[in-house]
Amino acid sequence: MRIIAGEFRSRRLVAPRGMATRPTSDRLRETLFNVLGSAVEGANFADLYAGSGAVGIEALSRGARSVLFVDEAEAAVRAIRENLTSLQVRQGFTIEQRSVASALRRLAERGGAAWQVVVLDPPYAMAKEYEQTLGLLGELNEKLLQGGAVVVAEHEKRSSLGESFGPLRRTRVLTQGDAALSFYRIDSPTRPAPG
């Protein structure tokens, strides 16, 4: 597993030890960031179910202002810290070791999250996590998302996620191998139209 582009291009990353982790493939991560394009530079970015942190670290490499990594597994948090340390990244990130639902509720209560890009990649078998997390992002969007924010869920190609979660509406689905990326934006007249 390696960083695709940006400041840390070609640097290798470690995956969490002792876990049945399914890191996002380099090829799928490259597709994701090609689609996100310039939206990443200067963005507040959230990497939910972060695992190794590869997606969030890729965002940092490509100029994200800040990245929130959320994973409740101790082995995942250790791997994220190890990867950030090996790249000598000392600022511009926060790590939350808790469930994603708990982290989202806590951040909504505290205020000030306001992400432009959110990527979630729960274990494929945990179908309820997709619905719960997308539902919370839809419900708490005014406290967690900036206008024009994009939310991307990686899932199995054969599993179809809902078209909408509150004001979050699916705008695009890309498939690659057995995986798919579903892109969502807020459907609201007060928000900028999807690009």
Domain range list for the chain: 26-186
pLDDT of residue 194: 41
Q: Tell me the pLDDT of the chain averaged across its residues.
A: 89
Over residues 132-139, the mean pLDDT reads 96
Q: CB-based burial of residue 103 (10 Å sphere; 0-12 exposed, 13-18 middle, 19+ buried)?
A: buried
Mean pLDDT of 43-67: 96
Q: What is the mean pLDDT of residues 78-90?
A: 93
Q: Mean pLDDT across the stretch 12-35?
A: 77
Q: Does CATH number 3.30.70.660 belong to domain 26-186? A: no
Percent of the chain with pLDDT over 90: 72
**pLDDT surpasses 60 at 192:** no
pLDDT band, residue 2 (cuts 50/70/90): confident
Stated pTM of the model:
0.90
Numbers of helices and strands, H then E, in the chain:
6, 8
